[in-house]
Amino acid sequence: MKSYKVNVCVIGAGVTGLSISLDLAKLGISCIVVNQDTLNLAASLNFAGVLHSGARYAITDFPLAKLCAESSRALLQKVPFAIVDRTKAYYIGTDISHESYAEDLIDSCQMIGINPNYVAPEDVLKNEPHLTKDIKFALEIPDYVLDPVILLKAYIEQLEKQNVKILKNTSLTGISFTNEQWNIEVKEHQNEQLSIIKADLVVVAAGAWSADVLKLFGVNILFRYISGSMAVIPQKLVKRIISFCEPSSSGDSIIPSYNSTLIGSTWRQQEISVPTPAIFPEVKEIVHKASQGLQDFNFNLINHTYSAVRIAFDENHMTGIDFIDRKKKRDYHILDCEKLYSVKRLISVFGGKFTLYNTMSKSATHLVCDKIKADFREDLLEYNVSPPTQKPDFHLGSVEKHLL
């Protein structure tokens, strides 16, 4: 049986887990990463592909909007190679109600450092000829398309250079806590290798898998699984992200992705952590909303859908949740399991928006350092990630296909 002795075991190799691991490595804190699947086939890969400026939430959730604005600006410096195109988004207006919303949006955006520009309808249609001719105006917003595949590949390469071990397709087979240390038995399914990891602290950043993982450590959280689905059109209908000057709803984002177009996302609760195909009412919602922004859009243009699952719980997660809706906060949560559940040296990170992963990582790393009495030096975390040396052989929207 192999044995690994590290300061920190990170469970989960999505963008948050990888980023935390790289932050720890930059601080000289030894770590190992364990993932149940082939790397990055969960929510980190199957999201909408938007680097949010904060504008989308500026009216409805100002603290989240401010976080997104700060995080977005940081990521434009940290991982510029992952931004597919720096063409600003259009938030379009097609009826009179959009005009008043646009005025409020401009005021709110200016409070987080964003200055939207009005674009005349003739210029909108010149730049985006597939959009509806009912457009009355658009606001130009610094939301950009981000390619998570390139980003995740870059993080994996950086971790390999830091000699951080990543165990993929690995299950947890036994867990114990003795002498202020976690002993985690794991099995790598590719070669049936059994190993034991001895770690001073464990960080659970496993997305929808997190609730099941936490149970193994004696922590039971009350939560809901939330599924979001995107529709994929096998042609590029727009050159930039298109959204609407109104509160967010299902299917209200139209996103270019190489030679395809992504439309979504939907929102529904489900009972399992595994992604499930979009149900017909969700596809109907997407078609209905997209047809308000695109000319001649219909069901037949959709080739397939893909889905991702996240965990959501109320801020007062100790008492559970009665109901979760689409308006629930989408920022992140870091659980100090010693403080909340009397389980020592265990932290869990629940992400909200992909845009916030770098902010989440820093916050989690700070807490890790506090727990294991290590120096937290924020200056060492102001590094830029190098682009991957090899291009991925797939891209956003091409992996988890659910054919209609």
- What phi and psi values does residue 221 have, to the nearest 5 degrees? -105, 155
Binned at pLDDT 50, 70 and 90, residue 274 comes out as confident
The Cα–Cα gap between 30 and 21 comes to 9
191-217 pLDDT per residue, tens: 899 999 999 999 999 998 999 999 999
Predicted pLDDT of residue 404: 54
300 compared with 392, residue with greater pLDDT? 300
Q: Quick one: pLDDT at residue 316?
A: 54
Q: Is the pLDDT of residue 323 over 70?
A: no
The DSSP code sequence of 6-71 is: EEEEEE--SHHHHHHHHHHHHTT--EEEE-SSSTT-STTTSS--EE--SGGGTTT-HHHHHHHHHH
Distance CA 278, CA 211 (A): 23
CA dist 270 → 8, 226, 312, 345, 350 (Å): 32, 6, 11, 31, 18
Please give the CATH topology (third level) of the domain spanning 1-49+147-222+327-404.
FAD/NAD(P)-binding domain (3.50.50)
Instruction: Provide the pLDDT confidence category of residue 319 given band limits of 50, 70 and 90.
Output: very low
State the pLDDT at residue 402.
59
The stretch 152-170 carries a mean pLDDT of 96
- Nearest CA to 289 out of 251, 263, 256, 326 is that of 251
pLDDT tens digit sequence for 118-133? 999 999 999 999 999 9
CB 26 within 8 A of CB 219: no
> What pLDDT was estimated at residue 215?
95
* pLDDT for 396: 67
Cα 161 to Cα 123, 166, 183, 387: the distances in Å are 47, 12, 26, 13
Residue 273 has pLDDT above 50, yes or no: yes
What size, in residues, is the chain? 404
DSSP-assigned states of every residue in 80-104: GGGEEE-PPEEEEE-SHHHHHHHHH
pLDDT at residue 331 above 70?
A: yes
Confidence class for position 401, pLDDT limits 50, 70, 90: low
Please give the average per-residue pLDDT across 174-180, as a whole number. Answer: 96
Structure tokens at 394: 């797939």
Express as a percent the part of the chain with pLDDT over 90.
76
- Judged by DSSP in three states, 305 sits in strand
Asked whether the predicted pLDDT for residue 41 surpasses 80, the reply is no
pLDDT value of residue 304? 92
Q: Which pLDDT band holds residue 178 (cuts at 50, 70, 90)?
A: very high
Partnered with residue 204 across adjacent β-strands are 11, 348
Whether 218 contacts 212, CB under 8 Å: no
Question: Which residues lie closer than 8 Å to 20 by C-beta, 6 or more apart?
Answer: 10, 203, 205, 349, 360, 361, 364, 365, 368
- Of the two residues 237 and 191, the one the predictor is more confident about is 237
- Of the CA atoms within 13 Å of residue 316, those in its CB half-sphere come to 5
Mean pLDDT of 315-320: 47
* pLDDT, average across residues 56-82: 96
The DSSP call for residue 333 is E
% pLDDT > 70, the chain: 91
Note the pLDDT of residue 45.
Answer: 77
For the chain, the structural domain boundaries read 1-49+147-222+327-404
pLDDT of residue 38: 64
- How far apart CA 165 and CA 195 sit, in angstroms, is 13
pLDDT confidence of residue 224? 86
What gap in Å lies between CA 19 and CA 33, rounded to an integer? 11
The pLDDT, as a whole number, for residue 330 is: 62
Q: Are 132 and 89 in contact (CB under 8 A)?
A: no
Which H/E stretch holds residue 122?
A: helix 121-127
pTM over 0.75: yes
Both tokens of 66, joined, read 């401010």
CA angle 180, 214, 340 (to 5 degrees): 70
